[in-house]
Amino acid sequence: MEKQRVEWWQRRSQRLLKVSLSMSLFTLGLMGVYSLHMLFGWNLPFDLLRICNMWMQNHGWFSVSHLLAGLVTCTFVLYVGYGLDQWYGSVRAVRRCRELEHTALTAAFNDRYSPDGQAMFIIVSCRQPLALTMGNWRRRIILSEGLLQLLNEEEQQAVVHHELFHYRQRDPLVTFLLGQAAFALWFLPVLRNMAHQYKISREVLADHDAIQRLGTPLGIGGALLKLVNRTHGGIHFPARMIYSSFAETSLNYRIHRILEPESGTSPRLPLGSVVISLPVLTALSILLLWSLV
């Protein structure tokens, strides 16, 4: 039964990723074609936004046409700005981690968990419990001395295997792309909810991977319980960087799932965001069919 639940979470994360990326690429693609037409006069077929723009102009809705151009410009500015902001924040975060790096512990963890000699871990001298995987291509797993002092050996191993799952699956890159699209396409609120639900799915799967490797849920469950108490005490994680964090997403839900794996409950997308987003996609679909006639 547990295997079926894990497969369900895997399918759920894949569906969320595919649907979110499809919606984002579809909308950004339309805006890209519209921008090419406005900048270079390209008269490309099936340019839905251009058709919409011309239709509004023919009916005298010049202000709406200008708003459409403003929306496209704003979307691309937000998209690029978010990416640059996250990249710059990641560079600063890595630099800060290097300044606080505990060299001996870093070498010990890399020797223990990186048999090929790859520098995967950075252990920082910090009292705050931290465990996260940071970066896109040059990824690093960041652990703090405060975390290692808080957890026992079994709990430490569980957290390490959890972060190794994110490292191998390149979860920071995927969550960054989903977050970037949700931020730029703010008029489709369902994208923000799907990005959040995707992060929950990946955290559940990372927890399961740690449980499978250790053969017991005690390590990951104990680590989550300890970090829940510390998080409620005022721990704040950085937002302006590309990362996946062990203790940021749905701690209480993950603990409940470990205690009652057969409960069958799972987070759902808010109905309001779906209701708001569907008319936008429906309108674009109608324009697409109309342009093909």
Domains identified in the chain, total number: 1
pLDDT number for residue 73: 85
Residue 250 lies in a domain: yes
Q: Residue 271 falls within a domain, yes or no?
A: yes
Amino acid at 157: Q
Task: Give dist(CA 269, CA 273) in Å, integer.
Answer: 8
pLDDT at res. 61: 52
With 0.85 as the threshold, say if the pTM is over it. no
41-89 pLDDT, tens digit per residue, is 555 555 555 566 566 556 555 444 566 677 788 889 999 999 999 998 8
Residue at 225 is within a domain = yes
pLDDT > 70 fraction of the chain, expressed in percent and rounded: 74
Q: Is residue 209 part of a domain?
A: yes
Identity of the amino acid at 196: H
Q: For residues 41 and 199, what is the distance between their CA atoms, to the nearest angstrom?
A: 41
Phi-psi region of 79 (alpha: psi -120 to 50; beta: other; left: phi over 0): alpha
Range of the domain at 153: 2-288
Is residue 293, in this structure, part of any structural domain at all?
no
Provide the 10 A C-beta neighbour count for residue 228: 15
pLDDT of residue 243: 75
How far apart CA 28 and CA 79 sit, in angstroms, is 10
